[in-house]
Amino acid sequence: MNNNKLKITFLGGVGEIGKNMTAFEYNNEIIVVDAGLTFPDDDLPGIDIVVPDISYLVANKDKVKAIILTHGHEDHIGGLPFVLDQIKAPIYGTRLTLALVENKMKEYPKVQYKAITVKPKNILKIGSFAVEFIKVSHSIAGSLALCISTPVGNVIHTGDFKIDFEPIDGVMTDLQRFGELGKKGVNLLLCESTNVCRKGYSMSEKSVGRALEEIFEKHSKNRIFVATFASNIHRLQQILNLAEKFGRKVAFTGRSMINISEVGLKIGEISFNKNNLIDIDKIDKYADNELLIVTTGSQGEPMSALTRMAADDFKGIKIGENDLIVFSSSPIPGNEKSVYNVINALYQKGADVIYDELSDVHASGHACQEEIKIIHSLCKPKFFMPIHGEYRHLRMHKQLAMALGMEERNIILPSLGMQVELSPNGMKKSGVVTAGQRLIDGYGVGDMDSNVLRERKQLSEDGICVVIVNINNVSGSVSGDPFIITRGVVYQDEAEAFVQDAKNMIIASLKEQDLRGAEPSVIKNTIRRNVSNFIFKRTKRRPMILSIVLLN
C-alpha cells in the first residue's frame, strides 16, 4: 500500500443494525473501532448471538495495535470476547465502558486482555495515528466520538450520538470541538445513520423524566413496574430519583439490570441511597404504593423478567389489577410483535400499561435529521461515508449530505467487507475482504453455511423421521417389523396409517435386494432414499431421515 493512503475496512455496522466494527489501516498499523454483536433473526434457529467475521483482522493480527470503544452498548462491545480470543491488542474506552467490558469478560475467564481508560479531550498516539476523544450524548454514559488524525488528514467517527440540550449529566455533546476540527479541516466524516429517517430533533432525556414524574404522581396507589434498557444509566438515575422522591423502595429484576446497576453504583455513574434498594424476594413485605420494580424485558425478550411475569412464570410476582407497567423504551425494529405480545398479556391480567405510543416515556439516543445536519455543517468534511444503519438509512443519509451541498462523487455508501482508500485529495473503493457473520451457539462458533444451521432449519420446517431395521446377517432378510419414529412430519390422526404404510414399503423394497453380506452403509442409504421419496409423495415434505441398520 502506498504510504499516502489510509485504508478503511468495514467489518460490521453498515447495511445492518448492530455488530459495529471498522478498521483503519496505515502502512503496518491497524486500529479497530468497536467490536459489537447483534441478535439472531428467526432464520437462525438456536443461535445465541451474531458477531462480525474477523478473518481479515486475524490474518493481519500483528498489525492490530488497538481496539477503541466508542461506548458500552452490546452492539459496540458484545463481540469483544471473540475478538480478544484471537487478537492480542489493548482496548481503550471510558470508565463505564470498560467496567461493562470487565463485567462481560467474567464469563470468559480464559481470555486475557489489557484495558486502558480514556476521557473526553484525551489524545491517544498509536504509531501513525493520533486519536482524540470527543464527548457526545447518547443513551448510555461515557459515549465518545473520535477524531482520528492520520498522515492523509483528519477522520471523524461520530460513534452513536445525539445533541441533547438538557443532558442528565449536565455536559452537552461537544459541538464546539466539532466546529474547531471543521475549521482545521476534516478529510472524511463517518456519521451514524440510525435515526436519519426521522425529521427534527430527538427528544431530551429530561423530557422522559418529566413524563415519568407525572405518571408517578397520577398512579400513587399502584405498584409500579418500569421496563427499560439496563444500559441507559441516565434513565436509571432519573427512575431512582423518582423512587426516592415518592418514597418507594426499589427492586431490580433481570440479570443485566442487576449487573449494570451494580456497576453504575460502584463507579459513581449512579448515585442512590442503597437503603432504598431491596431484594426482589422481599417485596411481599411492602404495600403496593411503596414499591417500584425496575426490570428487563422492554423488548419482549423470551426469557426476560417482564416476559416471564406476563406469563405467570416469575417466582414471587403475580401481575394484577393494581399494577402499572411502564415501557420506558420503544421497540427495536423487528421486536414489535414480541413487545406487543407482552403488552397484550399484561393487559389481560388486568394491569395498566403505558408505552411510547401513549406517553413520552422514551427518548432515542440517536440523532435525528436536524442534529445530523449540525454535525455535517460543523465538520464541513471533504469526503463522507454514512455508517451504522441498514441500506435505506445509508441512502437517506447520502441524500441529506447532498442537500447540504456535498457532491455525490465525494460520498461512498459502504457495505460489509468493502475497503476504501483515502488520500489527502481522493477517496475510492479499493477492494473487498471476507466479512459477514460468525454465529455463536453456546460455546460453538459457526457460519451461515454450517451443516448445523441447515439441519436445524430442516428440522424446524419439515421434522425428522427415524427408521430402525433389523437385518439377519446370514439370510439377508428383514427380522420383524421396522421401527419408525416421526416428529413434526404427520398429524396425529394420520400417524398410525402413515407409519404402517412406511413399514410395508421398507419391507417390500428390501425384499427386492440381496442383502447377504451387504455393507450397512449401503442398506442405510437405500432405506433413507426410499423413505424420503415415500414421505415426499405423501406429504410434499423433505424431513431429515435417520436410518439405523442393526445386523444380527
Q: What is the mean pLDDT of residues 27-36?
A: 96
- pLDDT recorded at residue 2: 47
Reported as a single tens digit per residue, the pLDDT across 393-430 is 999 999 999 999 999 999 999 999 999 999 999 999 99
Q: Which residue type is seen at 420?
A: V
- pLDDT recorded at residue 268: 85
Q: Which residues on neighbouring strands pair with residue 162, listed in sequence order?
A: 137
Reported as a single tens digit per residue, the pLDDT across 209-235 is 999 999 999 999 999 999 998 888 889
- The continuous run of DSSP H or E covering 421 comes out as strand 418-423
Reported as a single tens digit per residue, the pLDDT across 110-167 is 999 999 999 999 999 999 999 999 999 999 999 999 999 999 999 999 999 999 998 8
Q: Which residue type is seen at 168?
A: I
- Nearest residue to 39 via CA among 81, 2, 67, 79: 79
pLDDT band, residue 443 (cuts 50/70/90): low
Going across the sheet that includes 123-126, the strands are 123-126, 129-135, 144-150, 153-157, 188-192, 383-387
- In the chain, % of residues over pLDDT 90: 65
How far is 371 from 365, CA to CA, in rounded Å?
12
Q: Which residues on neighbouring strands pair with residue 33, listed in sequence order?
A: 22, 68
Helix (H, G, I), strand (E, B) or coil at 78: coil
Whether the CA torsion 282, 288, 290, 292 is positive or negative: it is: positive
Q: Which CATH class is domain 205-354?
A: alpha beta
- pLDDT recorded at residue 363: 87
Phi, psi (deg, nearest 5) at residue 343: -60, -45
- The continuous run of DSSP H or E covering 75 comes out as helix 74-77
- Nearest residue to 375 via CA among 509, 191, 230: 191
Q: Which residue type is seen at 422?
A: L
Reported as a single tens digit per residue, the pLDDT across 348-381 is 999 999 998 878 888 899 999 999 999 999 999 9
Cα 305 to chain centroid distance, Å, stands at 18
Q: Is it true that domain 6-200+364-446 has CATH number 3.30.1490.190?
A: no
Q: Which residue type is seen at 540?
A: K
Tell me the DSSP string of 326-359.
Answer: EE-S-PPTT-HHHHHHHHHHHHHTT-EEE-TTTS
- pLDDT recorded at residue 128: 94
- pLDDT recorded at residue 262: 85
Domain with CATH 3.60.15.10 in the chain: 6-200+364-446
How far is 380 from 406, CA to CA, in rounded Å?
9
Q: Which CATH class is domain 463-551?
A: alpha beta
Domain with CATH 3.40.50.10710 in the chain: 205-354
- Nearest residue to 335 via CA among 366, 296, 358, 301: 301
- pLDDT recorded at residue 491: 85
Query: Is a pLDDT exceeding 80 seen at residue 334?
Result: no
